[in-house]
């Protein structure tokens, strides 16, 4: 067979055992916390009918879908007809996010709880240009509460997410919150027409990245008058970083006087009160310039940021008009998505992983015994709860067996050396490969000694 | 938005919380056992370059690949050129099994252990006609030991797999073993030409399903002379089901006299000796008619069967020429694959699942308190390790809150009812929704009482 590339496809990754240990650690923390808040897991197929996906993510999203080529007769028909177009050639698409599948599931299964608290941790695929830490296959960790209009939904989602981030070992993060109705109220107060709302929000959302000048320039480009742009920027002025968390809210309560804006302010105050009763309280900050790009949010929005990290580690908000899209009825929803890949990267940089040994703890080595003796001893050690490998080539010299165990690629800390004479008297020799220490002891005491050395 | 189907795509499934609990239980057992044998996990991307996959699964396999349509410019070029064919339109394909990705990984990462014991539990996709319990997206659980020619590899893989099946709760299963070299020896002894070997094995493999007459008919169809066919069938005659596990092997040792056949017989005897030192011993049976369809096996082969179930729950063998396909060198390998979907189905039929409660254990209900009080109490109970939901609509009457908790779709066993007056004296009321029992007690004692009721 000719030599070909054995790299994973562009934008994807192989996860070797060490990677898996880290990913499982983080996913385990997320799952345990979400479960403690009463969220339950679902999983959906890797691909959906294209008709389910198309038109849900905007034009750019449609472009980024991975489409599955039709098969056999269905493909033959399209090719025979001649001049096929992209839309004719595919019938299925890889999952692009976890929200559209959730909406489909909520519409399909009518016996779900009325308040459906679900989490979902699965890969999604986007045909983006790979590079700069961007992947085409990456995991999303979504947590959503469906069916409640109460701010308790927001506070539970925020508390769960903050508890996850705390349990992973972070303490220098903030939860910025804002409200879509408040943003609209600011836009109206600035004299910007509502049909430019989405456009203005996209520009405002970049304040962190491009600064005030940058936002003003972009607002001008988007046809918003300089005065209006300036006013919007004033209204959405961030509070002092070390001031009271709701300082800017107090200011806006004076500056805005439409009903929707005042209601949004009351919502945010209540949300703050609720959050103070949870782990989220100490991380919460009102940020009037937080806009979040996605157009589907309808109420409070939030974003999690870690100090000194550009970009967020997660975000979400209330989106009352999306989950019902397949059910033909409005269904209230609050959700938050954590970026798994970014969390993993940060934890790596900050060395936040605990010891995650997953490979064997003991290797059973041969020094003149029968192969079946090695297997029996391995069995005994495994029954004591140890992870045990048997050196699979009994002819090899003991020194080489130990060298293998101690090599960087393997790294098994303890060898159980089985010799003929010792075995005849029910004994074996344990060797601690790090310290060189060695003990000959009865087989029945081996597991205990191994545990002592491991701890 | 117009009404459209909200079913998962044909051949795929949504997994709701109860399904996930069962799948995680089984996967957890598999992972823990494999880890105890020193196998470590890897994961590979959901899709591979088509060039990696094509030609590896035979013509039928190529047909069953899900191919990803090329994107943007690459697609435009193909469509503009005119008269596109299937091969021009796709560049990537969904993973079809876990063995080809393993071979790619082994070739790509040169610092893997020399004896690489890996397991991999991930979905694969096949564009099969769905139906009759066949899925287009389904999980494979592969465990393989790469790099060893010793029969210790076979015995470790077999012991690990038997331990999994035992730990899942099965005791009425068998591991049929045979040897490819022995099959070849039988084929030669029957006077069948070696170029008909694969064809004869495919026919023989159906003995269980179609009986001796069926196999003879199929062998005739495949151009094998009646005498030869009859001899092959005699040689491969199964042993009595309740006879000694190696009875048929003793018979063949007399009937066959070529070197390869005798070596295979010695291998199988040694494998049996090794397995008797492990959990696999009591399940092992030599089955001379076991052929396993796949052409890539080179040594011992095996299959796990559960009593009264047509078809197997897993199987594998030695395949020394496959893993090296991307490395341009022979790399010995032994592996076994368990069919997760089939195991799940069987466990369901036999009611082998333990209690797998994953939803909330306590619901915090409101009887006149503030919303933030409910959240505080939930927080306290969660810190005690409980899974807690807060009823998210504090205005609703208590009776309705309890009704929700007790409904079939929700099923939360215990309610923590928070009233204004009780709270003022640091108390709440716990209600066991199954028994109706009710206790008013200090908040600090609530978690303990909940644990008593749950156990």
Report how far apart, in Å, the C-alpha atoms of A272 and of each of A13, A159, A277 are: 40, 12, 9
Is residue A17 predicted with pLDDT exceeding 90? yes
Q: Which CATH architecture has domain A362-454?
A: 3-Layer(aba) Sandwich (3.40)
Chain A residues touching residue B152 (CB < 8 angstroms): 371, 374-375, 390, 392-394
Q: Distance between CA atoms of A100 and A56, rounded to whole angstroms?
A: 8
Name which of A2, A68, A164, A266 to mutate to probe chain B: the one with the most chain B Cβ atoms within 10 A of its Cβ. Answer: A68
Q: What pLDDT score does A311 carry?
A: 82
Is residue B3 predicted with pLDDT exceeding 70? no
Q: Distance between CA atoms of A290 and A186, rounded to whole angstroms?
A: 12
Closest residue of B to A115, CA-based? B392
Task: Measure the N-to-C terminal CA separation of chain B; round to a whole number of Å.
Answer: 48
What is the CA angle B121-B123-B127, rounded to 5? Answer: 150
Asked if B283 and B162 touch (Cβ cutoff 8 Å), the reply is yes
Q: What pLDDT score does B129 carry?
A: 83
Which residue among A37, A127, A408 places its CB closest to the CB of B71?
A127
Q: Distance between CA atoms of B204 and B301, rounded to whole angstroms?
A: 14
Q: What pLDDT score does A294 carry?
A: 67
CATH number for the domain whose boundaries are A173-302 = 3.30.930.10
Closest residue of B to A105, CA-based? B6
- pLDDT tens, residue by residue, B58-80: 888 899 999 999 999 999 999 99
CATH number for the domain whose boundaries are A13-46+95-168+307-357 = 3.30.930.10
Q: Distance between CA atoms of B98 and B340, rounded to whole angstroms?
A: 14
Which residue among A9, A20, A363 places its CB closest to the CB of B48?
A9
Asked if A389 and A364 touch (Cβ cutoff 8 Å), the reply is yes
Contacts of residue B70, defined as CB under 8 A and 6 or more positions apart, other chains included, come to: B78, B89, B90, B91
Q: Distance between CA atoms of A121 and A132, rounded to whole angstroms?
A: 23
Mean pLDDT, range A13-38, rounded to an integer: 97
Q: Distance between CA atoms of B194 and B185, rounded to whole angstroms?
A: 10
Asked if B189 and B309 touch (Cβ cutoff 8 Å), the reply is no
Closest residue of A to B84, CA-based? A79
- pLDDT-derived band at A1 (thresholds 50, 70, 90) equals very low
Q: What pLDDT score does A331 carry?
A: 95
Question: pTM of this prediction?
Answer: 0.95
Is residue B293 predicted with pLDDT exceeding 80? no
Is the ipTM here above 0.90?
yes
A58-67, A138-147, A201-210, B87-96: range with lowest mean pLDDT? A201-210
Q: Do B359 and A46 touch (CB under 8 A)?
A: no
Chain B residues touching residue A387 (CB < 8 angstroms): 35-38
A409 CA to chain B: closest CA distance, Å?
5
Q: Do B20 and A1 touch (CB under 8 A)?
A: no
Asked if B290 and B177 touch (Cβ cutoff 8 Å), the reply is yes
Mean pLDDT, range B144-152, rounded to an integer: 97
Q: Distance between CA atoms of A379 and A390, rounded to whole angstroms?
A: 10
Of the two residues A81 and B4, the one the predictor is more confident about is A81
- pLDDT tens, residue by residue, B17-59: 999 999 999 999 999 999 999 999 999 999 999 999 998 888 8
Q: Which residues of A294-311 are buried (b: 16+ CB within 10 A; e: fewer)?
A: bebbbbbbbbbbbeeeee
Measured in degrees and rounded to the nearest 5, phi and psi for residue A34 equal: -60, -40
For chain B, how many residues are written?
A: 455
Q: What pLDDT score does A206 carry?
A: 86
Alpha helix locations (H) across A313-397?
340-350, 371-383
Asked if A96 and A64 touch (Cβ cutoff 8 Å), the reply is yes
Is residue A2 predicted with pLDDT exceeding 60? no
Report how far apart, in Å, the C-alpha atoms of A27 and of each of A19, A342, A453, B142, B343 are: 12, 13, 29, 22, 25
Q: How many CB pairs under 8 A join A and B?
A: 307
Asked if B363 and B389 touch (Cβ cutoff 8 Å), the reply is yes
Domains A13-46+95-168+307-357 and A173-302 belong to one CATH topology: yes
Statement: B12-46+95-170+307-358 belongs to CATH 3.30.930.10: yes
* A17: Cα separation from own chain's centroid: 19
- pLDDT tens, residue by residue, A296-349: 899 999 999 998 887 899 999 999 988 988 988 899 999 999 999 999 999 999
Asked if B219 and B232 touch (Cβ cutoff 8 Å), the reply is yes
- pLDDT tens, residue by residue, A312-326: 999 999 999 889 889
Report how far apart, in Å, the C-alpha atoms of A259 and of each of A182, A299, B442 are: 10, 14, 43
Contacts of residue B68, defined as CB under 8 A and 6 or more positions apart, other chains included, come to: A66, A67, A68, A69, A94, B47, B90, B91, B92, B93, B94
Name which of A13, A40, A53 to mutate to probe chain B: the one with the most chain B Cβ atoms within 10 A of its Cβ. Answer: A40
Closest residue of B to A148, CA-based? B392
Helix and strand totals (H; E) in chain A: 18, 16
Rounding to the nearest 10 degrees, give the CA dihedral for residues A94, A98, A100, A101: 70
Q: What pLDDT score does B407 carry?
A: 94
Mean pLDDT, range A210-228, rounded to an integer: 92
By percentage, how much of chain B surpasses pLDDT 90? 82
Asked if B195 and B320 touch (Cβ cutoff 8 Å), the reply is no
- pLDDT-derived band at B294 (thresholds 50, 70, 90) equals low
Average pLDDT, whole number, for chain B? 93
- pLDDT tens, residue by residue, B126-147: 999 876 668 999 999 999 999 9
- pLDDT-derived band at A71 (thresholds 50, 70, 90) equals very high
Q: Distance between CA atoms of B197 and B187, rounded to whole angstroms?
A: 7
By percentage, how much of chain A surpasses pLDDT 70? 98
**Pairing state of beta strands B116-125 and B40-41?**
parallel
What is the CA angle B173-B27-A335, rounded to 5? Answer: 155
Mean pLDDT, range B414-429, rounded to an integer: 95
Contacts of residue A356, defined as CB under 8 A and 6 or more positions apart, other chains included, come to: A18, A21, A22, A25
Domain residue extents for chain A: 13-46+95-168+307-357, 173-302, 362-454
Q: What count of other Cβ atoms lies within 10 Å of the Cβ of residue A184?
A: 19
Mean pLDDT, range B250-265, rounded to an integer: 94
Q: Distance between CA atoms of B52 and B218, rounded to whole angstroms?
A: 34
Q: Do A68 and B407 touch (CB under 8 A)?
A: no
Stated as kind and residue range, the H or E segment containing A252 is: helix A247-255
Stated as kind and residue range, the H or E segment containing B362 is: strand B362-367
Contacts of residue B229, defined as CB under 8 A and 6 or more positions apart, other chains included, come to: B190, B215, B216, B219, B220
Is residue A133 predicted with pLDDT exceeding 80? no
Q: Do A359 and B38 touch (CB under 8 A)?
A: yes
A353 CA to chain B: closest CA distance, Å?
18
Q: Residue A247, CB half-sphere, CA atoms under 13 Å: how many?
A: 9
Q: Residue A387, CB half-sphere, CA atoms under 13 Å: how many?
A: 18
- pLDDT-derived band at B4 (thresholds 50, 70, 90) equals confident
Q: Which CATH architecture has domain B173-296?
A: 2-Layer Sandwich (3.30)
Mean pLDDT, range A254-262, rounded to an integer: 93
Average pLDDT, whole number, for chain A? 93
Q: Do A409 and B111 touch (CB under 8 A)?
A: yes
Asked if B186 and B226 touch (Cβ cutoff 8 Å), the reply is no
Mean pLDDT, range A416-427, rounded to an integer: 94
Q: What pLDDT score does B1 carry?
A: 44
Mean pLDDT, range A135-160, rounded to an integer: 97
Q: What pLDDT score does B310 carry?
A: 78
For chain A, how many residues are written?
A: 455
Q: What pLDDT score does A3 carry?
A: 62
Task: Measure the N-to-C terminal CA separation of chain A; round to a whole number of Å.
Answer: 48
State the helix-helix crossing angle for B17-36 and B151-168, rounded to 10 degrees.
Answer: 140
Contacts of residue A69, defined as CB under 8 A and 6 or more positions apart, other chains included, come to: A75, A89, A90, B66, B67, B68, B69, B86, B89, B90
- CA-wise closest residue to B48 among B66, B63, B64: B66
Q: Do A38 and B404 touch (CB under 8 A)?
A: no
Could you give the 3-state DSSP secondary structure of residue B296?
A: coil
Within A205-247, strands assigned E span none
């Amino acid at each position: 067979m000719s030599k070909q590339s054995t790299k994973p496809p562009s934008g994807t990754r192989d996860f070797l055992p060490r990677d898996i240990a880290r990913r499982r650690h983080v996913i385990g923390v997320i799952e345990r916390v979400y479960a403690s808040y009463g969220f339950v897991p679902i999983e959906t197929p890797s691909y959906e009918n294209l008709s389910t996906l198309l038109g849900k993510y905007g034009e750019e999203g449609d472009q980024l879908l991975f489409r599955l080529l039709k098969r056999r007769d269905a493909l033959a028909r399209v090719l025979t007809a001649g001049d096929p177009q992209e839309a004719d050639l595919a019938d299925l698409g890889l999952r692009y996010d976890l929200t559209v599948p959730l909406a489909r599931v909520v519409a399909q299964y009518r016996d779900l709880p009325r308040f459906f608290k679900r989490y979902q941790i699965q890969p999604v695929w986007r045909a983006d240009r790979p590079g700069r830490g961007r992947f085409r296959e990456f995991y999303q960790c979504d947590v959503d509460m469906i069916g409640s209009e109460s701010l308790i939904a927001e506070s539970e989602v925020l508390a769960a997410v903050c508890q996850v981030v705390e349990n992973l070992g972070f303490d220098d993060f903030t939860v910025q919150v804002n409200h879509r109705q408040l943003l609209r109220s600011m836009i109206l107060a600035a004299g910007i027409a509502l049909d430019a709302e989405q456009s203005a929000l996209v520009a405002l959302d970049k304040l962190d990245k491009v600064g005030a000048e940058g936002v003003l320039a972009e607002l001008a480009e988007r046809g918003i008058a300089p005065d209006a742009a300036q006013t919007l920027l004033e209204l959405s002025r961030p509070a002092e970083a070390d001031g009271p968390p709701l300082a800017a809210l107090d200011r806006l309560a004076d500056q805005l006087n439409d009903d929707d804006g005042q209601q949004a302010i009351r919502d945010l105050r209540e949300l703050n009160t609720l959050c103070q009763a949870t782990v989220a309280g100490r991380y919460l900050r009102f940020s009037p310039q937080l806009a979040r790009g996605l157009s589907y949010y309808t109420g409070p929005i939030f974003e999690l940021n870690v100090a000194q990290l550009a970009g967020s580690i997660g975000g979400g908000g209330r989106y009352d008009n999306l989950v019902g899209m397949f059910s033909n009825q409005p269904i209230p929803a609050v959700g938050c998505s954590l970026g798994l890949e970014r969390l993993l990267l940060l934890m790596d940089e900050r060395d936040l992983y605990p010891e995650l040994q997953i490979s064997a703890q003991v290797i059973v080595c041969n020094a003149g015994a029968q192969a079946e003796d090695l297997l029996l001893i391995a069995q005994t050690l495994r029954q004591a709860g140890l992870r045990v490998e048997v050196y699979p080539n009994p002819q090899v010299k003991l020194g080489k067996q130990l060298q293998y165990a101690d090599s960087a690629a393997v790294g098994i800390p303890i060898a159980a050396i089985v010799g003929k004479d010792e075995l005849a008297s029910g004994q074996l020799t344990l060797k601690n490969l790090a310290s060189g220490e060695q003990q000959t002891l009865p087989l029945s005491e081996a597991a205990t000694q191994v545990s002592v050395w491991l701890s």
